[in-house]
Amino acid sequence: MPKKTPKSILPLVQKIYDLQNINSISKHEQIVHGIINAIDSGILIAGDKLPSINEMVAEIGYARKTFVKAYTELKERGLVESKNLKGYYIISTETNVTLKVALILFAFHSFQEDFYNTFRKELGEKFHIDIFFHHNNIDLFRTILNNISGKYGMYVIAPIQQEATITLLKKISADRLLIVDRFIKMPSDYSYISQEFEEVTYQKLVGLTSKIKKYDRFVLFYKKQADYPQGILKAFKRYCEDFDINGNIKESYEEGSLENHTAYFFISDSQLWKVLKDVRTMNYHIGKDIGVLAHDDNIVKELTFGGITTISTNFSEMAKKAALFIKKGKRIQEIVPTYLYQRNSL
């Protein structure tokens, strides 16, 4: 005697049956759109359990792999979540979303805000983006990944440059992960759009040598426990040694400690604003008494004090390439160019 279909799944099954005569969509698309239609019509709501793959195979007759593919796509859209040994559950009713994307960054610095805004604009409304910040803390990074594992169709991650990070990232399949901002050595099938810091910073400093040598000292503010790229510190040390520059490294700037005839190099904007405040208060002249160089460009640095000289990549271009990867899924491995924007501050 054939197994009787439970009454609770009959309305859902009917939504899938309704699409079977449409030749332009595949079997797995019939399942996906049938379930979406069931959500839109209120047959399924958040928290409802879907029929198991075995139940669906028995009722509709399609191959098991067809249902696996359909349920996987629903997971990628952020509509369904699989719970170990418990089955598949509806977790969202936002059926207009094509793909759910997890974006994991260091913090919401101004340049990463530029990245996010462009990334959001380029993807458009059919892509849902959830953003997380790890603040260069490996324990927080691990917790974030554990909490979101398997819940997103794509992962765009600015990694912590530690060996432990590689192990964590390798748990995400290569076709679902894009590494951005910092470079980290992953297997050859993983995609990245990253910056290079040491050699490019060194070369940009070399190009500024005549300006830097106008000053008696060259000071880099570099906090070891912060999320600063190590390559910048290495480049600074090498440059000062190679070009006989009186270089100093300080953890942070203390208000009121501004020294005349000194050039300052900033990674953190918060340190930069403190110095600029003191420049105004103490009536020094930027580009003459005090030199200022900063990493990572933005509109404020372009306009303030007649313009701050910066070493920076173009984060909007990086975001456009990242959005294209999400849309097309084509592997990319690119070190993006870094630019020197010479202005009046040196």
93-142 confidence digits (pLDDT tens): 887 777 889 999 988 777 778 888 999 999 987 888 899 999 989 999 99
8 A C-beta contact, residue 91 and residue 46: yes
Per DSSP, 91 falls in state: -
The distance between the two most distant Cα atoms of the chain, rounded to a whole number of Å, is 94
Backbone angles phi, psi at 294, to 5 degrees: -135, 155
What is the pLDDT at residue 3? Answer: 45
Q: What is the pLDDT of residues 165-215, one digit of tens each?
A: 999 999 999 988 999 998 999 999 999 999 999 999 999 999 999 999 999
Residue with tokens 């793909």: 99
Q: What is the pLDDT of residue 179?
A: 96
Q: Which letter does DSSP use for residue 305 in this model?
A: G
Give the Cα separation of 346 and 342 in Å (integer): 8
Give the global pTM: 0.74
What whole-number distance in Å separates Cα of residue 114 and Cα of residue 135?
18
**Cα distance from N-terminal residue to C-terminal residue, the chain:** 87
CA distance 8 to 65: 23
pLDDT at 103: 94
State the angle between helix axes of 110-123 and 315-328 in degrees (0 to 180), rounded to the nearest 10.
30
